[in-house]
A and B are shown apart, each in its own frame.
Chain A
Amino acid sequence: METLRAEKVSYSYQTKYQKVDAVREVSCIFEHKKMYAIIGESGSGKSTFLSLLAGLDVPDAGTIYVQGQSLKEMDRDAYRLNQASVVYQSFHLFPLLNALENVMLPLEFKGMKKKDAKRAAQELLHKVGLTEKIYRQFPKMMSGGEQQRVAIARAVAAGGEVILADEPTGNLDSENEEKIVELLKNLAHEDGYTVIVITHNPSVAEAADHVFRMKDGAMEAVR
């Protein structure tokens, strides 16, 4: 079932010196229960495309459809709140909130009572493989892998159907990389999420159900 569809999506921006066509007429479909990898060299437009999918930017041309509805016509804040979550290479956890509070934040923000949010956050942290010992720790006290798992738990807590991950294993060692890839795969295959991962890492791409390559803003299907 189609979750996201990009139709001839283009996006360009102006730097100090030149106009950059970051995304050029990209068309593709993302379905639920599947994990996608978008690979490409630095500057190929991967992250820009991801931000367009996350509703953080608006395409200059073309349309992104979310379950058949044009993203242009949707409330993009609500879209990010309810349908799409982003996981970053640098984790971007709130440094002044502990692991539990980081995960509780989107739950409470969506209106869940503190007590329920706490229980749900604990379950999510448990699900991503973190022990209770970590719950009260602040990001700077955690390893990169632990932080990324908290970030994934937070993304899941935010709810929705789409998880957009931008180089989620970029700062991790191989052991943690494997665990995160496994986690993302499980989220797609077992929990029904559409997981879109931007990566340089061939082993991450290998774990994906479908792989796209971006080059100079254009996209092609690899498998």
Chain B
Amino acid sequence: MIIRNSIRQLWRMKGKTFLFILLLLLASGLCSMGVGFWKINSRNMEKYEDSFMTIGTVEQKASTMQEIRQWDAETKSYHIYSKNVYDTYVPESVLDFEGADYLSSPEKRVTYIAYNPDYKTYDGLNQLFVVEVSPREDVVPDHPVLLEIKKVWHGTGLYEGMYFTFCSHYDPEPEMMYQDKTYIMCVDSILGHESEVEFRPVMVTESDQYAADGTIIENSIAGHYYDEVTEDFYESERGRRWLNFLECLDYRNNIFPVTGTDNIHLMMGFYRGDNYISFGREFTEEEYESGAKVCLVSEPFAYKNGFEVGDSVRLPLLCADHKYSGGASFGSAGFRSCSFLNAQGEIYEPFEDSEYEIVGIYGGVASSMLDEYSMGYNEVVIPAKSVKNSDADNIIAYGPMFGSTTSFEIENGTIDEYMEKWSRQGIDNVEITFYDKGYTKLQSGMENMKSISRILAAMGAAMVLMVLGYFTWLFILRQGERTAVERCLGFRKWQSFLSMFTGIFLIILVGSALGCTAGSVLSARIAGSMENISYYDTTFGNSAAVEMEEDIELEEETFYPVEAAAGTMAAVLVTGSVMAGIGIGCNLRKEPMELLGKAR
């Protein structure tokens, strides 16, 4: 009866009641919209956190440029090109500075070269020939000259007694060749300027071996493009070098790059999504940490060798490249030339030889050209810590930190903070370039949306308070007479409270429910329409920006922030109830006669 009567009396004030409901609807709607935006925003941020990743690549700037002159016998002139020179190599430890919070610590990846004659890697590479030759007459081969083949050590298509055209193309002062002497040389064939096949020497007996500190180890003997074959030549150190070279010449057909990493997404191919796991899985955190003997192989490599997920591969690591990435050295058409002989002219022995389990096979574009930021042809990826032995005696190249080999991961949205701390280190010969797939741009939009949502929520909350305050005054404080008469009629305090409260509560319930529902729907619709945008990857950093046209698909069904709406509604209800309760309490604390305005 009390409740019915309470509602009836409100119903008799249709105008005021509807006005109250309408105002409360607007106010709570505004509030709910703000909270809804905030909730959607927070949810999107969480969602994007999984979709986005911020990595920094590190590159040491060259100290100077050095002019390199290469003789071209054809034009009788030097080709001049420049080469970066580094006074010292900046260690990656400079990145471990105070306040640098990495999700994945900086790593300078090493590309190991594995050799396994059981695995197919390259087919039909350009052939090198190793032959013993004699000139028809005494000659300096600074121009195309005819040489007679005395012996074929390696290569098909050349025979004893055959003549071929030879030019010591790159040597400005080649040594005299005598017609009564025999020379050993390694050559490859190219088309000369008159479209004739010409053979040019390849320097193969000189090694580029580096110590662990990056200094080059001097060869025990200087390399020659060709050596005279004397009677005991192959017992001499120079002769043994040729024999060793011949022994490992066929390694070229069975080598493949192996890269160790602490996070495959630090490798640009995977980061950009050019490469992806097509079968199996990525490494687990535990596998990275423990250095488990697990690996990822490329689809072509798996296909050629019949590998499947779960199979084992043997990875004898022959040498280590501390300079170039797999992509910079291994393309589908060939690989960067390197010597498998050490400074003493001996063939490198594998410094580590282990079985690895294939846990995943990755697909993606393998560039035929050498591209330092792509995965190398046949590249195998392993956890960095899985290589237990030192490669110090097997280093074939050593260089500074390059963007393609050195990277780290930081939390999304912290580029500016990181760069501020980095700039305080005062290291100006190291350049850091960030890639965040457009997160910063998106974050800026999100921050704006967050500000808008805060303003909306605050305005809504203020409006709710004003509306509730006004109506508490109008419906309750000004209705003291009603409370007094009810009390005079024998209503107990709680009954009087209930009589007044029920109607008010109902109005607040209706107003806030409608408002919060409307606010929630509106916020979802507006946010949904704003979300239908493709976010493009952008490079951020202290170098020129590079657009990496990669779409990140974020569209999905409209998300209605029901919890936010319910929370807002509950807050409005509680606030309204408290205010109403206080108002009614004020009336009930007064004696009925006082409320009736009677002078005592």
Instruction: List A residues at the B interface (Cβ < 8 Å).
Output: 13, 20, 22, 42-43, 45, 47-48, 51, 54, 56-57, 77-82, 85-86, 88, 90, 92-94, 96-97, 101, 105-106, 108-109, 138, 154, 158, 166
Contact = CB atoms under 8 A, between A and B. Distances in A.
A97 B8 contact: yes
A172 B492 CA distance: 31
Contacts of A88: 596
Interface stretch (B330-338, B449-457, B479-487): B479-487
B599 A43 contact: yes
Given A22-B600, A43-B599, A86 B488 contact: yes
A26 B487 CA distance: 25
A123 B411 CA distance: 82
Contacts of A158: 489-490
Interface residues of B, number: 24
13 contacts: A22-B600, A43-B599, A48-B593, A51-B592, A51-B598, A56-B591, A80-B487, A80-B490, A81-B489, A82-B490, A105-B489, A106-B489, A109-B1
Contacts of A166: 598
A114 to B, nearest CB: 8
A20 B600 contact: yes
B534 interface: no
A81 B490 contact: yes
Interface string B496-531: 000000000000000000000000000000000000
Contacts of B598: 47, 51, 166
B5 interface: yes
B13 interface: yes
A54 B488 contact: yes
* Secondary structure call for the A interface: mixed
Interface in B329-361: none
A2 B558 CA distance: 77
A92 B599 contact: no
B225 to A, nearest CB: 112
B485 to A, nearest CB: 5
Contacts of B490: 77-82, 106, 109, 158
Given A51-B591, A56-B487, A82-B490, A92 B481 contact: yes
Interface string B566-600: 00000000000000000000000001110010111
Nearest to B485: A92
Nearest to A151: B485
Interface in B13-52: 13
Given A80-B489, A109-B1, A47 B591 contact: no
A38 to B, nearest CB: 14
Given A56-B591, A94-B482, A109-B490, 15 more contacts: A20-B600, A42-B599, A51-B591, A51-B600, A56-B487, A57-B593, A77-B491, A78-B490, A80-B487, A88-B596, A92-B481, A94-B485, A97-B8, A97-B9, A109-B2
Contacts of A109: 1-2, 489-491
B600 A13 contact: yes
Contact of B600 (A48, A78, A94): A48
Contact of B591 (A45, A57, A79): A57
Task: Output the residue of B1, B488, B490 with the most chain A CB within 10 A.
Answer: B490
The 10 A-B pairs with the shortest beta carbon distances in the complex, nearest first, are A81-B490, A96-B12, A80-B490, A96-B9, A48-B600, A51-B593, A77-B492, A92-B485, A108-B1, A86-B488
A166 B484 CA distance: 15
A122 B491 CA distance: 22
A56 B592 contact: yes
Contacts of A57: 591, 593
A155 to B, nearest CB: 9
Contacts of A108: 1, 5
B484 A92 contact: yes
